[in-house]
A and B are shown apart, each in its own frame.
Chain A
Amino acid sequence: MAQHPTRRNILFGILLLAPAAAAIIATTLLPVLSNLVIAFQDWNGFGAATWIGFDNFSNAFSDSYFIESMKASFFIGILSTLGAVPLGVLLAACVFKVGKYEGSAYRVVLFVPVMIPLAIIGLLFTFLLNPEMGLINKVLELLGMGSLQRAWLANPDTVLWVIALIGAWRMAGLTMMLSFASMISIPGELFESSRLDGAGYPRQFFSIVLPLIRPSLQVSTVFSFIVLVSTYDLVYIMTRGGPGTVSQTVPIYMMKTAFTYSNFGYSATLGLLFSVAGILAIVLLQRLFKGENYEI
């Protein structure tokens, strides 16, 4: 039977938590609250701020740059997640069937993109996608598919797709790892009994594995979406938001608004609106995954 903590224990617990709580409040909570206040102000970052109520918000809704950058961010976020999650599950399903030692080698290799800094990934793909000397166009030429060659990052029709694909490639490793971790905790008896009933691996995968790893899929989907929708560095390194403003995501536009146009108040508003849109998208994702969860 559990004992009620004594007052002394509670105080001791609070004492232990206090430094961490203070650090979180100082480095996270206060900046967020400060951002919330700035969102209602006209502030150039240097002089005195003026309270302007909802002016920044009404400007944002009629700001075509903001609307277009929202579209770009969500296009990258949604498309990359749609690519990363199925690819990650597929990779996990493959790795799950190979031997213990080969499996661990594959897992390391497939997880490497998650560990590479985005700036390096951006540079790497900038070289690969170079229209003149890049590997992608050279391979297409060698395969006799020269007509498919493009200036991938300078073409307004391809630039967002390419960035989204790179995002998917990067995050697939995370889904793979999380899915694999769930898969190995599935009891072997379930596979044995289904095999006796004549089920092959594909059938086992869809009828046993997928329902049981759903919580992990939910986590990796939401996490991938959060990371990819708020992409800044990858896009900035590869295109700086160009050509023109075609690949300008909300974080890039926020940075420009704050540090180039010296409009910190409006930038804070954009951040707030973007966060609200992101939260709504996450709630929607949660609903999509709503259903019965099975205990392993």
Chain B
Amino acid sequence: MTKKRVFGLALATALSLVVSACGGANNNEPAASGAASKPAASPSASGGEKAAAPVKIKFFGMNMAYTSMEEMGAELQKKMPQYDIELLTVDTGTIDTSIRTGIAGGSPADIYFYWPQNMANIVKDKLALDLTPYLEANGGEWKNTFTPELLDLGKIEGKYYNVPFGSAYPVILVNNEIFEKAGVEPKQEMTWAEFMAACEQIKTKTGVSPFAVSSEPDRQSWLIRQGVMSLANGDGKLEALSKGEVATDSGYYETALNNIKDLYKKGYWYPGEGALNITRDEINAAFLQGKVGMLAEVAGTALSISEKAEFGVTVVKWPAMGPETVLLGGANGYFIPANAANPDAAVEVLKTLLGSDIQSIHLSHGYPPANRTIKVENPVLQQIMTFTEDLYPFEFHTKEAKMKSYYEGEMVPNYLMGAKIKDVLGQLDKLRENAFK
């Protein structure tokens, strides 16, 4: 009996150790964003001294969705032999966890990939370094290389926390062959009704899935986010929406959710029931295999996907649930954590990476860069870049992590799985009110 108890206690302790150890974390505290951190060190003094001794730089910025990344990484290392640059691959689906784990663990990367328009959350928790002194040094020499609209996305309360390397917003890639078979003409701009009519035509006339967007929260949420933004914009309430002033009983959310439910229930969303668990790789493969009529992707990858396809591809705007399309997103970029080991060296690396030489490689792979000193001549890219006129990068839900997680990852799946509209919207309203009180 005693042995049994000892055995039971030992196993119970083992379980306790395994589980509860997940909750603890290192108590390393990063310096506060901006003021108390290291940027105060003279940017101009950084280069020479650091260059003398090899400095280890952890670059958590290899977003392999861009085919240019490998070549750019290699060129970066070649151009900066004074630094030992460790190139780490980014998974955008788990990026928040990776960043916060690294910073909380006290051994962060020196540079992180992140979206400038979503920096509020990171800055609120004092995790990012103020880059303003570096950008404005020497009469704004570095600052002037960026497209101002994109650079300003990472500006919070007058300080820059993120530097952009390219624009990022959703577009729709159309398989021209499927559209032709279905007797549908790809339109540059579509209303939601036109989009649904095209889906119906494709499904009935060709048998393939009309539309695909992956289930990762930052992707499937394009439907609800852009839907609500487009509807609010129709009533001139886009800015109020971004400030969290539009309640869920406005009708915008309900209309958008019902439109999405319609898309899902009619089987237009690839691959039908499994749409809530489909990955980006799977939908891209399906599109290239001709199993999908329209693919939702980010603008930056549109050209490389269309070049891989064995059929003609047209890039069109996201369908508008309201009178016209409103595109979410803005830019991709990089930030330096507040407790980075080598902030000055990290800035030097960023300057080289975002300079015209390496960004020209990015452009040669079909991605429009944020560096305005480089001229874009590809007509498809020029066309995609015109979509930026519909861009509105400010969204209310990025203000608070719980609300972001719910709005992007849970609300739509819960509704599609049968939750009541009152419940799903009630929860969003609670989160919104808490975040903006």
Residues of A within 8 A of B (CB): 28, 31-32, 34-36, 38-39, 44-48, 130-132, 150-151, 153-156, 222-223, 226, 229-230, 232, 239-240, 242-246, 250-251, 254-256, 258-262, 264, 267-272, 274-275, 278-279, 282-283, 286
Contacts and interface: CB of A to CB of B under 8 A. Distances in A.
26 contacts: A31-B21, A34-B24, A38-B23, A39-B23, A44-B125, A46-B30, A46-B103, A48-B29, A151-B274, A156-B417, A226-B11, A243-B215, A243-B276, A243-B416, A250-B19, A255-B97, A259-B104, A260-B96, A264-B24, A268-B20, A268-B23, A274-B20, A275-B20, A282-B11, A282-B12, A282-B15
B19 A256 contact: no
B401 interface: yes
Interface of B: 4, 8, 11-12, 14-25, 29-30, 93, 96-97, 100-101, 103-104, 125-127, 215, 271-278, 282, 286, 291, 401-402, 405, 409-410, 413-414, 416-418
Contact of A45 (B21, B96, B104, B418): B104
Given A46-B104, A154-B273, A243-B413, A254 B22 contact: yes
A45 B25 contact: yes
A270 B21 CA distance: 11
A230 B19 contact: yes
A260 B14 contact: no
Given A46-B104, A150-B273, A259-B100, A226 B25 contact: no
A254 to B, nearest CB: 5
Given A222-B11, A260-B100, A278 B417 contact: no
Contacts of B20: 32, 35-36, 268, 271-272, 274-275
A46 B97 CA distance: 14
A46 B127 contact: yes
A254 B256 CA distance: 31
Given A35-B21, A46-B104, A153-B277, 15 more contacts: A28-B17, A31-B24, A38-B23, A45-B25, A156-B417, A226-B18, A242-B413, A260-B96, A262-B125, A272-B20, A278-B15, A279-B12, A279-B15, A282-B15, A283-B12
A154 B215 CA distance: 10
A243 B21 contact: no
Contacts of A151: 271-277
The main secondary structure of chain B at its interface with chain A is: helix
Q: Which 6 A-B pairs have the closest CB atoms?
A: A151-B274, A131-B274, A268-B23, A154-B277, A271-B23, A244-B413
Given A242-B413, A271-B22, A154 B12 contact: no
B21 A47 contact: no
Nearest to A222: B11
A153 B273 CA distance: 10
A260 B405 contact: yes
Nearest to A267: B23
A114 to B, nearest CB: 17
B100 to A, nearest CB: 5
Contacts of B286: 132
Contact of A279 (B16, B29, B275): B16
B292 to A, nearest CB: 10
Nearest to A131: B274
Given A153-B277, A242-B413, A261-B402, A278 B23 contact: no
A46 B17 CA distance: 23
A261 B22 contact: no
A259 B96 contact: yes
B125 A261 contact: no
Contacts of A31: 21, 24
A47 B32 CA distance: 9
B277 A242 contact: yes
Contacts of B17: 28, 32
Given A131-B271, A272-B20, A46 B4 contact: no
Q: Indicate the member of A35, A230, A286 with the most B CB atoms within 10 Å.
A: A35
B91 to A, nearest CB: 11
B277 A278 contact: no
A34 B25 CA distance: 9
A89 B274 CA distance: 35
A266 to B, nearest CB: 9
B293 to A, nearest CB: 15
Contacts of B127: 46
Contacts of B19: 230, 250-251, 271, 274-275, 278
Contacts of B125: 44, 46, 262
A272 B23 contact: yes
Contacts of B215: 154, 242-243
Nearest to A34: B24
A13 to B, nearest CB: 20
A45 B100 contact: yes
Contacts of A250: 19
A152 to B, nearest CB: 8
A223 to B, nearest CB: 7
B276 A154 contact: yes
A264 B409 CA distance: 21
A286 B16 contact: no
Contacts of B409: 242, 244
Nearest to A264: B25
A178 to B, nearest CB: 14
A131 B104 contact: no
Contacts of A255: 22, 97
A150 B272 CA distance: 10
A32 B282 contact: no
Nearest to A278: B15
Contacts of A246: 417
A278 to B, nearest CB: 5
B422 to A, nearest CB: 15
Given A35-B21, A131-B273, A259 B101 contact: yes
Contacts of B401: 260-262
Nearest to B401: A261
Contacts of B24: 31, 34-35, 38, 264, 268
Contacts of B410: 244-245
Contacts of B97: 255-256, 259-260
B417 A130 contact: no
A246 B405 CA distance: 15
A278 B275 contact: no
